[in-house]
Structures are given as C-alpha cells and as structure tokens.
C-alpha cells in the first residue's frame, strides 16, 4: 500500500483547494470505503478521528491513516493548525481489479473479482464563523484544550494580582509597566479629594442644653477613682514607705499648682 502526499494546485478543474493525501490500491471495494467516508465528510478533524476510531468497519483503519497523513501535510507543508482543519472533501475511486478463478463442477472455472480502490482525503481550514463557534464550544467543554488554556490565563491573572498586592508594583513602575485599572482608581480618588467639603452644621447636645446623665456619672467616677500624686505620697509616708518617684511627682504637682 503506497501513500502519496501531494499539495494540490488550483490550475485544474478536477482539483479542489486544500491539502490532500491519497492512498492507492487499497484491497477493498470502493463501495465499502464510501460508506465510511460519508460519515466524516464535512466534519472537523477531531470529530472525524473519533468517528473512525470507534467505527467497526475495516475501511476505517485505512481511512484514519489517510486522515492523519493529510493533517500532517497541512501542518508541515502549508503551515496550518490542526485544530482549525476539517474534511472538506473525501472520495474513493475504483482501482485495478484482480481476476482469480475457482474450479467448479464438470471441469469448469468461475471468475473471482478482487476489487481495489484509491482513497483521497482533502482537509481545509474552517470558515471564520464556524471556527468561532467551534472554539466557543471547546472552551465550554471541561477537559478540552481550550478550557485548559482559559484556566491557565485566569491563573496567570491571579498571580499577577497577588504579586501586585504584595508590593510588586514598584518593580513594574521601574520597568515602565503601567496598570491601567490602578491608574483609573487613583485618578478617581484624586477627583474625589478635590471636591469641596459639604459638611452639615453640627448641633451638639451641650449647645442645646442637653446633658447626658450616663456620661456625666462615668466622668465623676473616673475623677474620684484617680488619686493625685500628692495623695499617693502622703499615703506612703503614713505607712512608712519612702518612694523617691512619688515624692518627685508630688513636688512637680505642687509647682504646677503654684
């Protein structure tokens, strides 16, 4: 089984745009191959590969190899991305028929025809609208490559935010990197500071002649419970305790009263 990997041109009417792979002289009839090719026509390469992988027909084995060959040609020869390709065309042509004979009754022989076929698969880049729908669907599917890329981007944004909160903004400023969101917040704060203060006139309870009995009682108890330095010194002298610090504090208090 020979595999021809050609890049088609647009000069002939029987050639279609895209990258193709041809498998020639496959030992099966074109009818059997066409049944499997109808399953993957118009599908993206990931879906087509899954269909061929779980198909129970023997033709799916050869067709899957041809699909991988076409995708490899598109990547290496035409600089295409495998995730953006789809099966734009696939068909099977009849090949050479091998004739064999089987002996029958009365010395006769019956003919056996062993069919062959040539399988062609052409892959092309998906249209932009269909490609956007495919990417959105892959991003919403858990475990897909697009979902992993989106998760990595969110993780990187979280790391940058935590680094900035820990004080990494100075390094960014030295490198000339400006955080647009942070700059907008600073500008809003500056505008808020420049606004004139519009405080309402304060009306205290003392101006209105209202006395808080609970607050007055607390202040009276606090004044009574706090002895002066002179009282502390006199109490220590009565008990025969000599405290130089208390005497110095009492003398300073007497000077302040004078």
- When the pLDDT of each residue in the chain is averaged and rounded to a whole number, the result is 78
pLDDT in tens, 26-84: 999 999 999 999 999 999 999 999 999 999 999 999 999 999 999 999 999 999 999 89
Q: Is the per-residue pLDDT at 258 higher than 80?
A: no
**pLDDT at 56 (0 to 100):** 94
Tokens of 222: 């606090």
According to DSSP, the β-strands at 98-103 and 109-114 are antiparallel
Give the mean model confidence (pLDDT) for residues 117-133: 92
As a whole number of angstroms, the distance between CA 13 and CA 15 comes to 6
pLDDT in tens, 80-120: 999 899 999 999 999 999 999 999 999 999 999 999 999 99
Domain parsing of the chain, residue ranges: 2-126, 129-157, 224-257
CA atoms within 13 A on the CB side of 112: 7
Fold of 2-126: Ribosomal Protein L22; Chain A (3.90.470)
The model's pTM is: 0.52
132 or 242, greater pLDDT: 132
As a whole number of angstroms, the distance between CA 94 and CA 185 comes to 71
CA atoms within 13 A on the CB side of 197: 3
**pLDDT at 12 (0 to 100):** 46
Centre a 10 Å sphere on the Cβ of residue 159 and count the other Cβ atoms it contains: 10
As a whole number of angstroms, the distance between CA 118 and CA 122 comes to 13
């Amino acid at each position: 089984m020979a595999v021809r990997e050609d890049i088609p041109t647009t000069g002939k009417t029987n050639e279609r745009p895209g990258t193709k792979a041809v498998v020639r002289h496959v030992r099966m009839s074109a009818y059997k191959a066409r049944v499997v090719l109808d399953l993957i026509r118009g599908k993206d390469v990931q879906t087509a590969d899954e269909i061929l992988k779980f198909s129970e027909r023997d033709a799916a084995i050869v067709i899957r190899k041809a699909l991988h060959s076409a995708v490899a040609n598109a990547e290496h020869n035409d600089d295409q991305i495998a995730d953006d390709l789809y099966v734009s065309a696939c068909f099977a042509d009849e090949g050479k028929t091998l004739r064999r004979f089987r002996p029958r009754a009365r010395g006769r022989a019956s003919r056996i025809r062993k069919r062959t076929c040539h399988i062609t698969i052409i892959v092309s880049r998906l249209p932009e609208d269909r490609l956007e729908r495919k990417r959105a669907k892959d991003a919403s599917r858990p475990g897909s490559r697009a979902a992993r890329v989106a998760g990595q981007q969110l993780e990187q944004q979280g790391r940058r935010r935590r680094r900035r909160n820990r004080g990494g903004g100075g390094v960014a400023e030295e490198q000339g990197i400006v955080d647009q969101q942070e700059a907008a917040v600073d500008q809003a704060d500056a505008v808020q500071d420049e606004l004139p203060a519009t405080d309402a006139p304060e009306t205290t309870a003392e101006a209105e002649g209202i006395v808080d009995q609970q607050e007055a009682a607390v202040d009276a108890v606090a004044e009574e419970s706090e002895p002066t330095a002179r009282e502390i010194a006199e109490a220590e002298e009565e008990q025969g305790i000599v405290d130089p610090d208390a005497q110095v504090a009492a003398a300073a208090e007497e000077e302040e009263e004078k």
